[in-house]
Amino acid sequence: MASATQGLPQPAMNYRRREFRRAWRSMVAAKWPLLALLILVCVIFAALFGPQIAPLDPNRQNIMLRLAGPMTEGRGKTLFLLGTDGLGRDVFSRLLYGARVSLLVGISAILVGGTIGVVAGLVSGYFGGWIDDVIMRLGDIQLAFPFILFAIMFLVILGPGLANIILVLGVGQWVTYARIVRAQTLSLREKEYVEAARALGDSTVSVIFRTILPNIMAPLTVIASFNVASVILSEASLSFLGLGVPPSVPTWGSMLAESRDQLLANKWWLAFYPGIAIVMTVLSFNILGDWLRDFLDPRLKTLG
Partner 1 sequence: MWTFIIRRLLQSIIVILGVTAISFVALQIGGDPTYLYVSERATAEEIQQTRVALGFDRPLYEQYFTFVGHLVQGDFGTSLSYKRPALEAVLEALPATIELTLFAMIFAIVLAIPLGVFAALYRGSALDGSIMTMGMLGQSIPSFWLGIMMIMFFGLYLRWLPISGHVPFLVPLLQGHVVEAFSQLPMALYYLVMPGVAVGFYSLSRNARLVRSSMLEVLGQDFVRTARSKGIPEAAVVIHHALRNAWLPVVTMVGLEFGFLLGGVVVVEMIFSWPGIGRLVFNAINQRDIPVVQACVIMLSVIFISLNLLVDLIYVRIDPRVKL
Contact between 163 and partner 1 (CB under 8 A)? no
Q: Are 105 and 231 in contact (CB under 8 A)?
A: yes
Closest CB to partner 1 among 199 and 264? 264
Neighbouring C-beta atoms of residue 234, cutoff 10 Å: 22
Cα–Cα distances in angstroms (integers) from residue 283 to residues 30, 86, 111, 230, in the given order: 16, 29, 20, 10
Q: Closest separation between CB of residue 233 and partner 1, Å?
A: 5
Burial 248-287, CB ≥16 within 10 A → b, else e: ebbbbbbbbbbbeebeeeebebbbbbbbebbeebbebbbb
Q: Closest separation between CB of residue 277 and partner 1, Å?
A: 10
* Partners of 90 in beta bridges: 84
Contact between 156 and partner 1 (CB under 8 A)? yes
Contact between 287 and partner 1 (CB under 8 A)? yes
Q: Closest separation between CB of residue 24 and partner 1, Å?
A: 22
Number of residues located near partner 1, criterion CB under 8 A = 43
Contact between 39 and partner 1 (CB under 8 A)? no
Q: Are 220 and 114 in contact (CB under 8 A)?
A: yes
Report the C-alpha gap between 262 and 214 in whole angstroms. Answer: 51
DSSP element (H, E) containing 126: helix 91-127
Q: Are 242 and 152 in contact (CB under 8 A)?
A: no
Q: Of the candidates 290, 291, 292, 293, which one interacts with partner 1 according to CB under 8 A?
A: 290
Q: Closest separation between CB of residue 214 and partner 1, Å?
A: 30
Q: Of the candidates 158, 188, 218, 296, which one interacts with partner 1 according to CB under 8 A?
A: 158
Q: Are 212 and 126 in contact (CB under 8 A)?
A: yes
Contact between 67 and partner 1 (CB under 8 A)? no
φ and ψ at 10, to 5 degrees?
A: -50, -50
Q: Name the one range near partner 1 by CB under 8 A: 54-62, 208-216, 256-264, 291-299.
A: 256-264
Closest CB to partner 1 among 173 and 234? 234
Contact between 131 and partner 1 (CB under 8 A)? no
Closest CB to partner 1 among 99 and 282? 282
Contact between 186 and partner 1 (CB under 8 A)? no
Closest CB to partner 1 among 208 and 256? 256
Closest CB to partner 1 among 213 and 289? 289
Three-state secondary structure of 8-53: CCHHHHHHHHHHHHHHHHHHHHHCHHHHHHHHHHHHHHHHHHHHHH
Q: Closest separation between CB of residue 294 and partner 1, Å?
A: 13
Residues that bind partner 1 (CB under 8 A): 140-141, 144-150, 152-154, 156-158, 229, 233-234, 236-237, 240-243, 256, 259-260, 263-264, 266, 268, 271-272, 275, 278-279, 282-283, 286-287, 290, 301-302
